[in-house]
Chain A
Amino acid sequence: MKHSRMRLFAPVVIATALVLAGCSTSNLGGTSDADKSGDSGPIKIGAVLDITGVGASLGVPEQNTLQMLADQLKADGGINGRDVELIIVDDQSTEDGAAKATAKLIESDNVDLIIGASRTGPSLAMRPLAEAAEIPLISVAANAAIVDGAKWVFKTTQNDVTVLETILNDAEKKGYTKLALVRDATGFGEGIADYITQLGADRGITLVTTEAFEPSATDFTPQMTNIRSSDADAVIIWGINPAAGLAQKAYVQLGVNKPVYQSHGIANQAFFDAAGPSADGVIAAMGRLLVTEQLDADNPQRPVIEKFQADYSEAFGEQPSTFGGHAFDAWHIAVNAIEKAGTDPNALRDELEQAEFVGISGVYKMTPENHSGLTASALILAEARGGSWTLLKD
């Protein structure tokens, strides 16, 4: 039986081969049959996003934003008379998914530029492919390692360091010298303790204790108990919702009476849902998206954000999130550069390295050394009061 069973599989194997046999694109590194779109024909922009899987809460607003912007651009007649085609691929929030998606975009769709991925891991899996194929990649994930030393990779999110600088400047001003950190145990909170130690050195601030929590954590008693018994002047809670909100709640319930800073990771309504009244008094560093109406009338970002908010809520019936903002910035930086430099990869890359753009997350100024382009000025401090954010003026 064992052997005859194998015979039965032969048709399956052959069928698989037939399924696999599609068009005749070369998979062996030769030139593709349809080469890069050149200087005519539609411009192709690919996007690799966490549309399904654990990163879906990031990827879906990014997908919505990109689709909306592509439709707008199409209605406006494209770039320099050329149509722009957006191809979005789901990486299922996995590294191998991102690698598959990137290879597909590069090899069979022949895209001119790629946006993605939503999170650090998949972005790092895409980086070597983009570098090898010499195609510009604009990530919408946070970690500085994504662009560190990269030639072809850029990103649009604030570096963690700039967020921390903003927080530490405020702490220094208020005379706090000892800080405690409660951080997310995954990539988002990684390296934060080291940054605080480094940045704090100039400001006379030391980190006295560090605790961590899972993004799925629900019990924060051990962490907060340790914080409570530390001699810190203030506490930084660094995480994303709902965990960061729950941590805030536990913090108050356990009677820790120290001021709290939170990161840009909590900048959405879910924070108030999870933390409830415990949120009051929290100071957070974030982009300007959530406090638009409190901005000065002459703030250059204000009209950009207001238009984005209006467009997005008209298209999707809800307010855009920070993540949609990252995608918005990536799209416009890409489109502006293509407008100036065309689709020749080298020219496009050089143009991206000098891109300047007033976006949702801040005012960008890319350089060959800085592929991230945002400075501390991109961030503001806001205080939670009664379920919404109040801009703290300097």
Chain B
Amino acid sequence: MLTDFLQLTVAGLSQGSVYALLAVGLIAVYTVRHIVNIAQGEFAMLAGIGGAWLTAAGMPLILAILVAIFSVILVAIAMERLIIARVKNLTTLFSMIVTLSVSILLQAIMLLVWGPEARGLPRFPGENLLIGGVSIRSQELWMLGALVVVGGGIMLFYEKTRWGKALRACAEQPIAARIVGISPVMASVMAFAIAGFVGAVAGVVSSPIALSLWSGGLLLGLKGFVAAILGGFSSFRAAIVGALLLGVIEAYVAGYVASGLRDGVAFLILILVLTFRTQGLVLKPTAVRV
């Protein structure tokens, strides 16, 4: 029984680390533009499918990963420059519709270019472990490692560097950002680049075991959104904790209740959190963002 429990926990944590990276991307954009980027999950799928296609074409794994991540960052910046920035009156309503349409557009492009089949990158180097009956796949360690390195790196950037702090303050205090030399345009581009980067990292590390599918981004992005909500849409730490928690809860529900209900859990949590605790897991809300 304990073995099962630990097995589910491992699966939940590795899945949760993907949600966590997506949540980081969502919050990065939200703090600067007050936009919920529905296309966040598509960044992950794009990187996964693109990377898989490159390796299938003979490119070495590490190079394919770098090219995929870099391309997705460019796509994210293009999305900001070519579409988001050009909407004249970007109300909340319009921002939802715009990012939704980008999400649909990216899905359609993936479908038309690479077809409807799921694709996966080759497994990253490493050996699967079997500890006390609990099987830990090497890729799961890569997923958790990506969260620690990339998620932690982004957090350090925001909390320790001048640019990071200015970027965080950007929405509330544009002047502070300007002092450091970040114009609103620059801030917005940087936020989308960060979102593209973390999304792409999540996509490539999960692709070898979870595969990337043209239509898989929406649900993944929504899970990231639920995690971001758990972080009150402002705290990276709370969102990452929320994401890991969400991954684990999903695994327990699938394992102990019914696997068909797995995807419903996230949305039940979403509605419950919005109903009873808008600030999510954040203990001391710093600003009202209702």
Contacts and interface: CB of A to CB of B under 8 A. Distances in A.
> A–B direct touch, CB within 8 Å, in complex?
yes
Given A211-B259, A212-B260, A218-B210, A254 B7 contact: yes
B2 to A, nearest CB: 11
B255 A222 contact: yes
Interface residues of A, number: 24
Contact of B135 (A185, A222, A253): A253
Interface string A255-276: 1000000000000001000100
B145 interface: no
A56 B215 CA distance: 14
Contacts, number: 69
Interface in A183-217: 185, 211-214, 216
Nearest to B5: A225
B215 A216 contact: yes
A270 B128 CA distance: 24
Contacts of A255: 130, 135
Contacts of B262: 214, 222
B116 A214 contact: no
B118 interface: yes
Given A212-B260, A216-B215, A216-B216, A222 B130 contact: no
A242 B15 CA distance: 19
B258 A212 contact: yes
A225 B215 contact: no
A56 B112 CA distance: 13
A57 interface: yes
Nearest to B137: A253
Contacts of A218: 118, 206, 209-211, 216
Interface string B233-276: 00000000000000000011011001110110000000000000
Contact of A222 (B117, B128, B251): B251
* Majority DSSP secondary structure for residues of B touching A: helix
Nearest to B213: A216
Interface in A229-267: 229, 242, 246, 253-255
B106 to A, nearest CB: 17
B73 interface: no
B134 to A, nearest CB: 9
Contacts of B210: 218-219
B11 interface: yes
A223 interface: yes
Report, as a range, how many residues of chain B touch the other chain. Answer: 20 to 34
Contacts of A223: 254-255, 259
A229 B263 CA distance: 24
Given A212-B260, A222-B11, A253 B251 contact: no
B22 interface: no
B36 interface: no
Contacts of B39: none
B118 A242 contact: yes
A377 interface: no
A225 B211 contact: no
A9 B219 CA distance: 38
B159 interface: no
A22 B254 CA distance: 54
Given A216-B216, A223-B255, A242-B117, 11 more contacts: A212-B260, A214-B262, A218-B211, A219-B15, A221-B7, A221-B11, A225-B4, A225-B8, A229-B3, A254-B7, A274-B211
26 contacts: A56-B116, A57-B116, A212-B258, A212-B259, A212-B260, A213-B259, A214-B262, A216-B213, A216-B215, A216-B216, A218-B216, A219-B11, A219-B15, A219-B210, A221-B11, A222-B8, A222-B254, A222-B255, A222-B262, A223-B255, A225-B8, A225-B255, A226-B4, A229-B4, A242-B117, A274-B118
Q: Which 7 A-B pairs have the closest CB atoms?
A: A221-B11, A222-B255, A222-B254, A218-B210, A225-B7, A242-B118, A185-B260
